Amino acid sequence: MGSSGKDAASRGFASGEFVRAAPSPGGTVVSAVGYRRQGHSTALHRGLPSPYLTLIFSLDGPVVTDRTPSEAKGPDAECAGIVVGGLHQSPSYVVQPERETGIQLAVHPLAARALLGLPAAELAGPLVVEGADVLGRVAADVRERLRALDSWQDRFALLNSYLARRTAAAERTGAVRPEVAEAWSWLARHRGAGTLRGLSAHVALSERRLSAVFRAETGVTPKQAARLMRFQHAKTAAVRAVAAGTRPDLAGIAADCGYYDHSHLVRDFRQYTGASPTAWLVEECRNIQAGAYGGGEDLRA
């Protein structure tokens, strides 16, 4: 995750901004986005499933989220100042207050052991986990130091240093099985469009055995990971079209991203966003134009 001025770019809109930093060279952090938003009425934002773990350092109040809109607005909603989230198959709903500031990271799931000290599968059950419970008291201290800084460049530099130290010094909970690492790389190279039979043959494990060890590491099956990757590519293509001021060719995107047809793309959008592609893009248009998505993260092997 780069921390120099030329490695980060920002776009402002009204009373908000999104600042994107370069990913870390080792691929542990796939993307890092700083955000600041204020002066808007309280709203609900959809947090979408992706092939990456989520790590958020909120620099204002805690992040309030849950699995449904009513639960997110209710008294028992999940709240965390540092959010750690695993791989999921449905959207979360996040309360957006009038003012919010923070840094959101997309973390490679196979880096969870090194960065978090546990396999990504252990994050698959709960919607989110309080990051201080996973990362320890030092993470809470880092959050306070981030809150005291004024520039995004300084914040990214501090966070990059902290994550690098943690990765270097972390107590390992065992290595990722080479078959799982190779399976993830194969799925990423095929953009989520390969078959389980082809993947199984590639890593020399039966389909059942591969699914078991893959899920034990990541929390999802190879088929579920492939769908998340395919959806990520499709969403990125649609976002880029909207950011460029053009209407997305959803049928063309479906074909390019390995979907059987347009209806299968719509099915995945409904599962992962709770809305049709067109409805979700209309809902997110302002954030897209403001640079919140930045063209989408690249899938890393």
Q: What's the pLDDT score for residue 11? A: 44
Alpha carbon distance 33, 31 (integer Å)? 7
Together in a domain, 119 and 53: yes
Q: Is residue 301 part of a domain?
A: no
Helix (H) or strand (E) holding 279, with range, is helix 277-289
List, in order, residues 6 or more apart from 110 with CB less than 8 Å away: 120, 176, 180, 181, 184, 217, 218
Per-residue pLDDT, averaged over 89-106, amounts to 95
In whole angstroms, give the CA distance from residue 287 to residue 292.
5
pTM for this predicted structure = 0.91
| pLDDT at residue number 161 | 94
pLDDT digits (tens, 9 = 90+) for 248-293: 999 999 999 999 999 999 999 999 999 999 999 998 888 887 777 8
At residue 300 the predicted structure's pLDDT band, cuts being 50, 70 and 90, is very low
- Together in a domain, 9 and 140: yes
The last residue of one of the domains, among 134, 169, 204, is 169
Judged against a pLDDT cut of 50, whether residue 13 lies above it is answered with: no
Q: Identify the pLDDT of residue 95.
A: 95
Could you tell me the CATH number of the domain that includes residue 101?
2.60.120.10
Look-up: residue for tokens 């460049």? 153
Quote the percentage of the chain above a pLDDT of 90.
79
Distance CA 262, CA 255 (A): 8
Q: Within 10 A of 98 (CB to CB), how many other CB atoms are there?
A: 13
Predicted pLDDT of residue 299:
45
Are both 244 and 273 inside the same structural domain?
yes
**60 with 66: CB under 8 angstroms?**
no
Q: 62-85, pLDDT tens digit by residue?
A: 999 999 999 999 999 999 999 999
| 11 and 137, same domain (yes or no) | yes
Q: How far apart are CA 11 and CA 1, in angstroms?
A: 19
pLDDT computed for residue 296 by the predictor: 46
Secondary element (H or E) of residue 243: helix 222-243
Q: How many domains does the chain have?
A: 3
**Dihedral of the CA atoms 136, 138, 141, 147 (nearest 10)?**
-80
Higher pLDDT, 7 or 18: 18
**Are 66 and 92 in contact, with CB atoms under 8 Å apart?**
yes
Give the contacts of 283 (CB within 8 A, at least 6 positions apart). Answer: 46, 275
Q: Are residues 108 and 213 in the same domain?
A: no
- CATH number of the domain within which 254 lies: 1.10.10.60
Q: 120 with 163, same domain?
A: yes
The answer on 261 and 244 residing in a single domain is yes
**Residue ranges making up the domain that contains 219:** 178-223
pLDDT confidence band for 9 (50 / 70 / 90): very low
